[in-house]
């Protein structure tokens, strides 16, 4: 299978839960262990063979563009959401002309992880099968997460197909903020601001939403306490 060379990095969020760290900068430029969140993610993408990234911007957009101009290992295209936040689904739809037609990676910027069994993104790419799936989510068992206190997101069957928690009190697997998808499915999405979640439900019902499960610790950097916990965990792991 041809490896993806393009990724979309969702970096337009306001980061309100990370205040006061985001009072003078975008969430993507909050640092963990001395490195901006977005650079943690871009480093992983570059190591996986990604050569071109599309980054959406909104809050402190000029700061973001100036920072990204310093990356000489990746071609960076900006999807400008200065006018209005479009959320995950709307952000992908607005960026669709920049994404091409080959499978792409899509990432959040508030996820950091350890990799005891090798590169996580490589494992995601290796699990991709276009004959069976339109979207492949990287997941983690809830007990292997840090900074995440939710009830979990998905159940996974023995074929790797995902179903959402629905009315269940809990689910064993949480989404870690990285997925691989076929861009053509975006074409039918509305232009308005909306979440990708509803599209995932539709793909799940059609048996086209799949998941891979990571090994290691996923750190969700959603608030200042989670940032401190992530720094401590990274320091402990050397």
pLDDT tens digits for range 104-153: 999 999 999 999 889 999 999 999 999 999 999 999 999 999 999 889 99
Is residue 183 within 8 Å of residue 101, measured between CB atoms?
yes
For residue 149, the model assigns a pLDDT of 85
pLDDT at 58: 95
- Residue 1: predicted pLDDT: 61
What is the structure's pLDDT at 236?
Answer: 84
Mean pLDDT value across the chain:
94
Report, as an integer, the average pLDDT of 215-226: 94
The residue ranges of every structural domain in the chain are: 6-236
Average pLDDT for residues 171-182, to the nearest whole number? 97
0.85 surpassed by pTM? yes
Q: For residues 86 and 96, what is the distance between their CA atoms, to the nearest angstrom?
A: 13
The pLDDT value given to residue 42? 97
The closest of 118, 90, 96 to 195, measured between CA atoms, is 90
**pLDDT (0 to 100) of residue 226:** 94
pLDDT tens string 22-65: 999 999 999 999 999 999 999 999 999 999 999 999 999 999 99
CATH number of 6-236: 3.90.550.10
Q: How confident is the model at residue 238 (pLDDT cuts 50, 70, 90)?
A: low
Taking only the tens place, the pLDDT of each residue in 78-115 is: 999 999 999 999 999 999 999 999 999 999 999 999 99
Q: Residues near 210 by Cβ (< 8 Å), separated by ≥ 6?
A: 127, 129, 132, 133, 135, 136, 137, 159, 160, 161, 162
For the chain, state the CA radius of gyration.
17
| Per-residue pLDDT at 117 | 85
pLDDT of residue 2 exceeding 80, the answer is no
DSSP E strands in the chain: the ranges are 6-10, 31-32, 35-36, 52-57, 75-80, 104-107, 111-113, 135-141, 145-146, 154-156, 162-164, 173-181, 209-213, 218-220
At 160 the pLDDT is 95
Per the structure block, which two tokens stand in for 196? 């990708």
């Amino acid at each position: 299978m041809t490896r993806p060379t393009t990724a979309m990095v969702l970096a337009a969020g306001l980061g309100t839960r990370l205040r006061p760290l985001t009072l003078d900068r975008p969430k993507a430029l909050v640092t963990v262990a001395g490195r901006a969140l977005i650079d943690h993610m871009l480093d992983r993408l570059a190591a996986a063979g990604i050569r071109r990234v599309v980054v959406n911007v909104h809050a402190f957009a000029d700061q973001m563009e100036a920072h990204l101009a310093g990356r000489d290992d990746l071609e960076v295209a900006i999807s400008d959401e200065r006018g209005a936040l479009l959320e995950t689904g709307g952000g992908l739809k607005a960026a669709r002309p920049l994404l091409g037609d080959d499978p792409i990676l899509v990432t959040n910027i508030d996820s950091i992880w350890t990799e005891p069994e090798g590169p996580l993104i490589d494992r995601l790419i290796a699990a991709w099968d276009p004959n069976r799936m339109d979207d492949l989510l990287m997941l983690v068992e809830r007990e292997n997460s840090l900074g995440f206190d939710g009830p979990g997101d998905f159940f996974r069957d023995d074929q790797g197909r995902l179903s959402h928690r629905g009315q269940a009190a809990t689910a064993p697997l949480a989404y870690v903020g990285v997925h691989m998808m076929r861009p053509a499915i975006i074409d039918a999405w509305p232009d308005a601001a909306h979440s990708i979640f509803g599209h995932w439900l539709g793909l799940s019902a059609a048996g086209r939403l799949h998941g891979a499960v990571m090994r290691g610790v996923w750190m969700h950097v959603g608030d200042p306490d989670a940032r401190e916990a992530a720094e401590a965990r990274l320091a402990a792991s050397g």
